[in-house]
């Protein structure tokens, strides 16, 4: 699908969210000549990367009347992929000359927020943002889109847009795994969305459910102050029981939980039992768009948003409604950028979408593939090994180069390190060659003002 040469149509577009996805979407839409209004509940740009010590009023986030905090960051959080592959393509996430900033390859969350703020400033995005303004309802009206919003002063407004791009994030509504007996288990429970610091777990016995990025980090954070930390991992075999090395002798890995009981005990599938004070659920998040009203056209079933062509466009409502950032993958910011380029090009009519029937047929085939692999529906937006193929397909739609070799490989190798050396992956790596390739690429494209050797020599 070759892009046409000139933008044909300028649209009035609402972007919901000024996190990484909303910021780059706003920039790409404006580049294609659209007029853009970005709505965000917060006072500043950055979305999830705006750390707050505050949490939801319900530590499990089950109470529908709870007060909600958007971020899920914990105080000690550092990025889980190297910074070079995390940045946008024409604004690399490289260490700053400012000594107050964090130059590490896997920097702290504060550095990511500073990067996003710099990005917003560089591309003058803030002037498009209506801060402290929550979108409370979005619905189609006579071929356009009605957006109702409410600002912090309680002022409510309804406006009509040609299109709405949803960039509201999906790491705020916790997902909880069912555990037999949990209703009468007497201990404390918290979801990782509401975890900030280890102090409340001092001298406790803690069971952490989940051992992917957050679970691995949080269990290591808590074991600095707790008596014992036990990780229950679905990914481990049923007999798994291992005392983890390198640690202060109080961290164990188990298979998943079999049952929890009224007396406070927790029995793992490996047959071991512990009496725990707290369960920390690091069990992921659910897609949730409480503002969206599509008369039943879009449904979320088993955490799969349906129907969505290429995880972006609901066929019968496209291109007026689109979603940026839904698939879970390593190259998040890159994905936001190329998805935004495609949406912007489609809205300006420089690029056309297939017919509704063809989009639905494509989706039918995707579901068939999922079924053939015996995966449940909730795996629909998990792209795993096909993430690069997906991203390259999107880039081809809008005439953008494929994912750089170094970017793809840094994520592949970074994830292997995260799995196999969770305590050390941020300090010890063996892909200096890829880092070199990245910095040389930035220099060749005139994206950095220093010679790559200045940075690379200090790292070796
Ligand atoms: C614990 C954790 C660690 C992570 N670490 C990494 C990492 O190291 N590297 C990486 O690349 N990715 C990481 N991610 C993924 C991360 O979510 C993405 O990188 C990215 O920041 C998400 O951006 P977003 O714009 O989609 O959503 P968000 O950053 O969540 O932004 C959404 C914005 O929408 C606003 N909003 C939502 N609803 C409304 C509404 N109704 N009205 C108005 N505004 C609204 C919110 O206020 C928010 O500002 C991590 C995620 C988590 C949960």
Q: What span, in angstroms and rounded, lies between the C-alpha atoms of 390 and 400?
A: 13
C-alpha 70 to ligand 1 mean position (Å): 8
* 0.85 exceeded by pTM: yes
pLDDT at 114 over 70: yes
Residue 3: what pLDDT?
46
Instruction: For ligand 1, atom 11, name the residue with the nearest CA.
Output: 332
Q: Model confidence at 458, in pLDDT bands (50, 70, 90)?
A: low
Burial status of residue 67 (CB atoms within 10 A of its CB: 0-12, 13-18, 19 or more): exposed
Which whole number is the average pLDDT over 24-47? 98
Percent of the chain with pLDDT over 90: 88
Burial status of residue 186 (CB atoms within 10 A of its CB: 0-12, 13-18, 19 or more): exposed
User: Whose structure tokens read 């920039």?
Assistant: 27
Note whether 15 and 36 are within 8 A (CB). Answer: yes
Q: Which uninterrupted H or E stretch holds 435?
A: helix 432-444
Please state, in angstroms and as integers, the Cα–Cα distance from residue 17 to each residue in 40, 109, 244, following that order.
Answer: 5, 19, 40
User: Would you call the peptide bond into 333 cis, given omega within 30 degrees of 0 as the criterion?
Assistant: no
Q: What span, in angstroms and rounded, lies between the C-alpha atoms of 104 and 111?
A: 9
What is the sign of the dihedral through the CA atoms of 103, 109, 113 and 116?
Answer: positive
pLDDT at 411 over 80: yes
Q: Model confidence at 459, in pLDDT bands (50, 70, 90)?
A: low
Q: What span, in angstroms and rounded, lies between the C-alpha atoms of 254 and 239?
A: 8
Residue 1: what pLDDT?
45
Residue-wise pLDDT for 57-75, tens only, equals: 999 999 999 999 999 999 9
Lowest-confidence segment of 42-56, 336-350, 410-424 by average pLDDT: 410-424
Pocket test for ligand 1, best of 171, 214, 326, 339 (most atoms within 8 A of CB): 171
Residue-wise pLDDT for 235-263, tens only, equals: 878 888 988 876 568 999 999 999 999 99
Burial status of residue 124 (CB atoms within 10 A of its CB: 0-12, 13-18, 19 or more): exposed
Residue 450: what pLDDT?
77
C-alpha 449 to ligand 1 mean position (Å): 29
pLDDT at 363 over 60: yes
User: Would you call the peptide bond into 307 cis, given omega within 30 degrees of 0 as the criterion?
Assistant: yes
Nearest to 333 by CA among 36, 65, 134, 47: 47
Residue-wise pLDDT for 301-324, tens only, equals: 999 999 999 999 999 999 999 999
Residue 40 Cβ contacting ligand 1 at under 6 Å: yes
Residue 221: what pLDDT?
95
Mean pLDDT of the chain: 94
Catalogue all structural domains in the chain, each as residue range(s) with its CATH number.
12-173+285-406 (3.50.50.60), 177-281 (3.50.50.60)
């Amino acid at each position: 699908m070759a892009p046409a040469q000139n933008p044909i149509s300028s649209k009035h577009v609402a972007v919901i969210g000024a996190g990484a996805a909303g910021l780059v979407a706003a920039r790409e839409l404006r580049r294609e000549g659209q007029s853009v209004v970005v709505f965000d509940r917060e006072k500043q740009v950055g979305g999830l990367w705006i750390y707050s010590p505050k949490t939801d009023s319900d530590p499990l986030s089950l109470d529908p009347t709870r007060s909600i905090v958007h971020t899920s960051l914990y105080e000690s959080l550092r990025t889980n992929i190297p910074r070079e592959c995390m940045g946008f393509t024409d604004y690399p996430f490289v260490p700053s000359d400012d000594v107050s900033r964090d130059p590490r390859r896997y920097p702290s969350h504060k550095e990511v927020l500073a990067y996003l703020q710099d990005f917003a400033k560089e591309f003058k995005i803030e002037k498009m943002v209506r801060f402290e303004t929550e979108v409370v309802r979005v619905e189609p009206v006579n071929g356009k889109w009605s957006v109702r919003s409410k600002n912090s002063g309680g002022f409510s407004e309804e406006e009509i847009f040609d299109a709405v791009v949803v960039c509201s994030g999906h790491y705020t509504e916790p997902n909880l795994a069912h555990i037999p007996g949990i209703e009468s288990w007497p201990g404390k429970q918290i979801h990782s969305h509401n975890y900030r610091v280890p102090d409340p777990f001092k001298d406790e016995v803690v069971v952490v459910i989940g051992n992917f990025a957050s679970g691995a980090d949080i269990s290591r954070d808590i074991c600095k102050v707790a008596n014992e930390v036990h990780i229950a991992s679905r990914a481990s075999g049923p007999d798994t029981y291992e005392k983890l090395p390198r640690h202060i002798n109080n961290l164990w890995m188990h298979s998943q939980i079999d049952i929890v009981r009224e007396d406070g005990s927790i029995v793992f599938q490996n047959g071991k039992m512990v009496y725990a004070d707290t369960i920390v659920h690091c069990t992921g998040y659910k897609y949730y768009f409480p503002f969206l009203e599509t008369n039943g056209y879009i449904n979320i079933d088993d955490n799969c948003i349906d129907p969505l062509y290429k995880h972006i466009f609901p066929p019968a409502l496209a291109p007026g409604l689109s979603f940026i950032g839904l698939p879970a993958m390593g190259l998040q910011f890159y994905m936001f950028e190329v998805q935004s380029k495609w949406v912007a090009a489609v809205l300006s009519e420089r690029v056309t979408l297939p017919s509704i029937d063809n989009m639905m047929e494509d989706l039918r085939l995707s579901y068939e593939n999922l079924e053939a692999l015996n995966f449940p529906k909730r795996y629909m937006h998990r792209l795993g090994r096909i993430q690069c193929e997906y991203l390259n397909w999107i880039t081809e739609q809008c005439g953008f180069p494929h994912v750089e070799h170094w970017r793809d490989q840094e994520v592949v190798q970074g994830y292997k390190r995260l799995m196999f050396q969770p305590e050390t992956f941020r300090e010890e790596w063996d892909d200096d060659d890829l880092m070199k390739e990245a910095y040389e690429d930035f220099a060749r494209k005139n994206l950095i003002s220093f010679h790559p050797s200045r940075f690379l020599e200090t790292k070796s």
